[in-house]
Amino acid sequence: MKRLLILGGTGEAAALAEAVRQQLGDRTEIISSLAGRTRQPRALPGRVRTGGFGGTDGLARYLREAQIDLVVDATHPYAMRISANARAACETAGVPRLMLLRPPWEMQAGDTWIVVSDAAEAALRIPDVGNRAFLTLGSGDISAFAGLRGVFLLLRVAEEPDRPPLPGAEWIVGRGPFVEADELRLLTEWRIGVVVSRNSGGAATRGKIAAARRLAIPVIMIERPVPEPGTRTDDIEETIEWIARKLA
């Protein structure tokens, strides 16, 4: 049995783990690595490892000690640190690595996007665009909006937080996928005037972009970081083929 480490927590990582179980399960031991940001992650086939590795050196050591044969980096497109660590660790340990990276969204007719480089720039742009903002970002980006004044902020979090995620902001709990009809209702009921989003891509959270288009609400879009160098695909079946070739 060969050991496959899937760096994930994304929908693509979960779908890949299930596809490997179905198509290559007789030859592959699956280990899924989760960051541990949610208390109740979805059920996954194979073994699940939760928590960090301790940087590049820690991940390289884990690859050797756990006798990992292959790595698929299926982390979130904005998870820059773990992807950089994965590239360096796999090079150090001599383990083949593939990135499974969903494509970004592209502007369509009717979209109004204000493209910014990071959360700090997004926070600066909000007052010029609208005074009621819906923030759909990672937890690491929220602090950039703490200094805003005179702007209503609505956050969506995946789980009930132990304390308010951002002082002075309203928050709701929800975990995708989010369909357009529900997002239309949310934006309308909360009288949202601007959406702040990362260009995560994929279908699970695309509903908010479609809803903003329908309502002519501008979107402050945080552009994607440049992905790590290396072989990558956006297709699960191509990933399965890559794994099968390496197994052979």
> What distance, in Å, lies between the first and last C-alpha atoms of the chain?
12
| CATH class for the domain made up of 113-222 | alpha beta
SS3 for 67-81 is: CCCEEEECCCCCCHH
pLDDT reported for residue 160? 80
Q: Tens digits of per-residue pLDDT, 146-196?
A: 989 899 999 998 888 878 888 889 999 988 889 999 999 999 999 999 999
| CATH class for the domain made up of 2-103+227-247 | alpha beta
206: left (phi over 0), alpha (psi -120 to 50) or beta: alpha
Question: Are both 2-103+227-247 and 113-222 of the same fold?
Answer: yes
Tracing tokens 């790595």 back to the chain, one arrives at 71
pTM for this model (two decimals) = 0.89
Helix count and strand count (H, E) for the chain = 7, 12
- For the segment 91-104, the average pLDDT, to the nearest whole number, is 96
Give the pLDDT band (50/70/90) at residue 207. very high
Domain extents in the chain: 2-103+227-247, 113-222
Q: Are strands 97-100 and 232-233 parallel, antiparallel or unpaired?
A: parallel
Give the pLDDT band (50/70/90) at residue 140. confident
- C-alpha triplet 29, 200, 81: angle, nearest 5°: 60
* CA dihedral sign, ordered 176, 181, 139, 105: positive
Nearest to 3, CA basis, from 46, 61, 50, 53: 46
Instruction: State the Cα–Cα distance between residues 99 and 86, nearest whole angstrom.
Output: 10
- For the segment 107-126, the average pLDDT, to the nearest whole number, is 96
Phi, psi of 175 (to 5 degrees): -130, 130
- C-alpha triplet 63, 201, 188: angle, nearest 5°: 135
